[in-house]
Structure 1
Amino acid sequence: MTRPTLPSREEVLPFLDEIWNSRFVTNRGPVHLRFETALATYLDVPYVTVTANATLGCMLALRHLGVTGEVITPAFSFVATAHAASWVGADLVFADIDPETLSIDPQDVERRITPRTRAIFAVHCYANPCDTQALADIAKRHGLALIYDAAHCFAAKDEGGSLLRHGDLSVVSFHATKVFNTLEGGAIISHDLETKQALDRLCNYGIVDENNIESIGLNAKMSEMHAAVGLAQLPHVEHDIARRGQVVQRYWDRLKDMDGIRCVCPPDRPGRNNYAFPILVGPEYALSCMALYERLKAAGIHARRYFHPPLSQLPLYRDLPSADPRGLTCAIEASEQVLCLPLYPDLAPEDQVRILDVICTPWR
Structure 2
Amino acid sequence: MNKILVTKPFLAPREEYETYFNKIWDNQWLTNMGPLAVELEEKLMAHIGVKNLLFVSNGTIALQMAIKALGLKGEIITTPFSFVATTHSIVWEGCTPVFVDIQIGSLNIDPKKIEEAITENTSAILATHIFGNPCDVEAIQKIADKHNLKVIYDAAHAFEINFKDKSIFEFGDISTCSLHATKFYHTGEGGLVIAKHKEVLKKLGYIRNHGLHEKEGFASIGTNAKNSEFHAALGLVNINYVGQILQKRKQLAEIYELQLQDKVKFQTWNNDASKNYCYFPVIFKTEQELLRVKEYLEQNNIFTRRYFYPSLASSLPYMPAVFLPNTESISTRCLCLPIYFDLPLSDAKKISELILECI
Please state which band the TM-score falls in when normalised by the shorter chain: over 0.9
Q: How does 1:14-163 map to 2 (within 5 A)?
A: 14-163=19-168
Determine the C-alpha separation between the residues in 1 that align with 2:272 and 2:342: 22
What are the Cα deviations for residues 119-160 of structure 1, in whole angstroms up to 9, with x where unaligned? 100000001110000000001110111000000000011213
Give the match for residue 227 of structure 1.
232
Determine the C-alpha separation between the residues in 2 that align with 1:36 and 1:191: 16
TM-score (norm 1): 0.94
Deviation of the 1:350 alpha carbon: 2.3
Deviation of the 1:198 alpha carbon: 1.8
What are the Cα deviations for residues 246-275 of structure 1, in whole angstroms up to 9, with x where unaligned? 0000000011122xx102166997510111
Structure 1 225/150 Cα, relative in aligned 2: closer, same or farther at 3 Å?
same
- 3-state SS of the aligned residue for 1:294? helix
How many residue pairs align between the two structures? 354
Deviation of the 1:32 alpha carbon: 0.7
Alignment partner of 1:212 out of 210, 217, 220: 217
Which stretch has the larger CA shift, 70-79 or 351-360? 351-360
Alignment partner of 1:277 out of 272, 275, 280: 280
Determine the C-alpha separation between the residues in 2 that align with 1:300 and 1:93: 39
Give the match for residue 350 of structure 2.
354
User: What letter is aligned with 1:362?
Assistant: C
Deviation of the 1:195 alpha carbon: 2.3
Give the match for residue 300 of structure 1.
301
Determine the C-alpha separation between the residues in 1 that align with 2:274 and 2:349: 26
Determine the C-alpha separation between the residues in 2 that align with 1:84 and 1:113: 20
Identity rate of aligned residues, in percent?
36
Matched, 1:184 2:189: yes
Deviation of the 1:47 alpha carbon: 1.6
- 3-state SS of the aligned residue for 2:185? coil
Deviation of the 1:213 alpha carbon: 1.3
Matched, 1:324 2:322: yes
User: What letter is aligned with 1:71?
Assistant: I
- 3-state SS of the aligned residue for 1:361? helix
Unpaired runs of 5+ residues, structure 1, are: none
Deviation of the 1:313 alpha carbon: 1.7
Structure 1 268/166 Cα, relative in aligned 2: closer, same or farther at 3 Å?
closer
User: What letter is aligned with 2:118?
Assistant: I
User: What letter is aligned with 2:57?
Assistant: A
- 3-state SS of the aligned residue for 1:103? coil
- Would the aligned equivalents of 1:252 and 1:266 in 2 still touch at CA under 8 Å? no
- Would the aligned equivalents of 2:251 and 2:345 in 1 still touch at CA under 8 Å? no
- Would the aligned equivalents of 1:174 and 1:183 in 2 still touch at CA under 8 Å? yes
Structure 1 267/356 Cα, relative in aligned 2: closer, same or farther at 3 Å?
farther
- Would the aligned equivalents of 1:248 and 1:267 in 2 still touch at CA under 8 Å? no
Structure 1 161/235 Cα, relative in aligned 2: closer, same or farther at 3 Å?
same
- 3-state SS of the aligned residue for 1:10? helix
Determine the C-alpha separation between the residues in 1 that align with 2:319 and 2:201: 36
Deviation of the 1:298 alpha carbon: 1.6
Deviation of the 1:48 alpha carbon: 1.0
Q: How does 1:197-276 map to 2 (within 5 A)?
A: 197-209=202-214, 211-258=216-263, 261-264=264-267, 271-276=274-279
Give the match for residue 314 of structure 1.
315
Matched, 1:340 2:336: yes
User: What letter is aligned with 1:324?
Assistant: V
Determine the C-alpha separation between the residues in 2 that align with 1:166 and 1:154: 13
- Would the aligned equivalents of 1:249 and 1:267 in 2 still touch at CA under 8 Å? no
- Would the aligned equivalents of 1:202 and 1:216 in 2 still touch at CA under 8 Å? yes
- 3-state SS of the aligned residue for 1:229? helix
Determine the C-alpha separation between the residues in 2 that align with 1:245 and 1:196: 34
User: What letter is aligned with 1:189?
Assistant: I
Deviation of the 1:50 alpha carbon: 0.7
What are the Cα deviations for residues 174-231 of structure 1, in whole angstroms up to 9, with x where unaligned? 0111100000100001123332222121111111146411211111111111011101
Deviation of the 1:349 alpha carbon: 2.1
User: What letter is aligned with 1:174?
Assistant: L
- 3-state SS of the aligned residue for 1:288? helix
Deviation of the 1:288 alpha carbon: 1.9
- Would the aligned equivalents of 1:75 and 1:94 in 2 still touch at CA under 8 Å? yes
Determine the C-alpha separation between the residues in 2 that align with 1:243 and 1:269: 22
Give the match for residue 15 of structure 2.
10
What are the Cα deviations for residues 69-119 of structure 1, in whole angstroms up to 9, with x where unaligned? 001110111100000111100011001111111011001011000000001
Structure 1 267/103 Cα, relative in aligned 2: closer, same or farther at 3 Å?
closer
RMSD: 1.7
Unpaired runs of 5+ residues, structure 2, are: 1-5
User: What letter is aligned with 1:330?
Assistant: N
User: What letter is aligned with 2:135?
Assistant: C
